[in-house]
Amino acid sequence: MAVIHQTYVKPTKLELLTSWLPSRPWYRGGAGEPELTKAGGFRLDDPEGEVGIEFMIVTDASDATYFVPLTYRGAPLDGADHALIGTTEHGVLGQRWVYDGCHDPVLVAQLLALVEGRAEPQAQSITDTPDREVTRAHPGTGPLTPTSAAPADTEDTTDLPLTDATLRIHRVLRPGSAQGPTGHVSGAWDAPDGTRAKGVFVSHTPA
């Protein structure tokens, strides 16, 4: 069970993302820095209790909404320098290394467990509280198995190669059906106009 500490984080997550997002191929803003607002998200538990796993949703002043899987570690992740978003100081846990979670095997394993129904989505800011707005569906009956291929960014997504399929992380969120494709993770977030939007975060695409 992930414990949510009510303490400071310096620099903040939004500050780290403000510097990092413009370097992504799916970033929709212009030449200047984004003006980000937290719009929602959820967490998953690491069974080993070592890695923080958060799926953060942020909205830019340009009205683009981004889905950003993050992991928080107490030491650098070997071979993942390319996925490092930055480091931050946590008031309770000390220095934390913050990664693009699509490149972190702990997050990938738990995301697959969520799609399969073996992991339960947790509220973003409340300890030991399931997030009932997050829904999921398994595309079949067997396990989802990642390959050794690296995740690939596109103009809208990050694609995680699976055996005979792709798990597609929708980086740019668009309101729509919360049911999504056969295999999916869907949920809700705060839209810029103050309404509650719903859409697909992750979809399963057969090869």
pLDDT tens string 151-167: 999 999 999 999 989 99
Predicted TM-score (pTM) of this structure:
0.93
- Tell me the per-residue pLDDT of 54-71, one tens digit each, with 9 for 90 and over: 999 999 998 899 999 999
Q: How many CB atoms lie within 10 A of CB 5?
A: 12
**What value does the mean pLDDT of the chain take?**
91
Whether 141 has a pLDDT exceeding 90, the answer reads: no
Distance (Å, rounded) from C-alpha 47 to C-alpha 57? Answer: 23
Who has greater pLDDT, 36 or 32? 36
> Which residue(s) pair with 157 in the sheet?
170
| pLDDT per position as a tens digit, 103-133 | 999 999 999 999 999 999 999 988 889 999 9
Average pLDDT over residues 80-107: 92
Instruction: With beta carbons less than 8 A apart as the criterion, state whether 176 and 162 touch.
Output: no
Which tens digit of pLDDT belongs to each residue from 168-178?
999 999 998 76
What is the model's pLDDT at position 8?
59
Token duo for residue 199: 């859409």
Residue 86's pLDDT band, with cuts at 50, 70 and 90, is very high
Most confidently modeled range among 34-48, 166-180, 181-195 = 34-48
What are 2-25's pLDDT values in tens digits? 666 677 578 999 999 999 999 999
User: Quick check: 48 pLDDT over 60?
Assistant: yes
- Of 170, 169, 163, the C-alpha closest to 143 is 163
What lies within 8 Å, CB to CB, of 148 at 6+ separation is: none
pLDDT the model gives residue 97: 96
Residue 3 confidence (pLDDT): 65
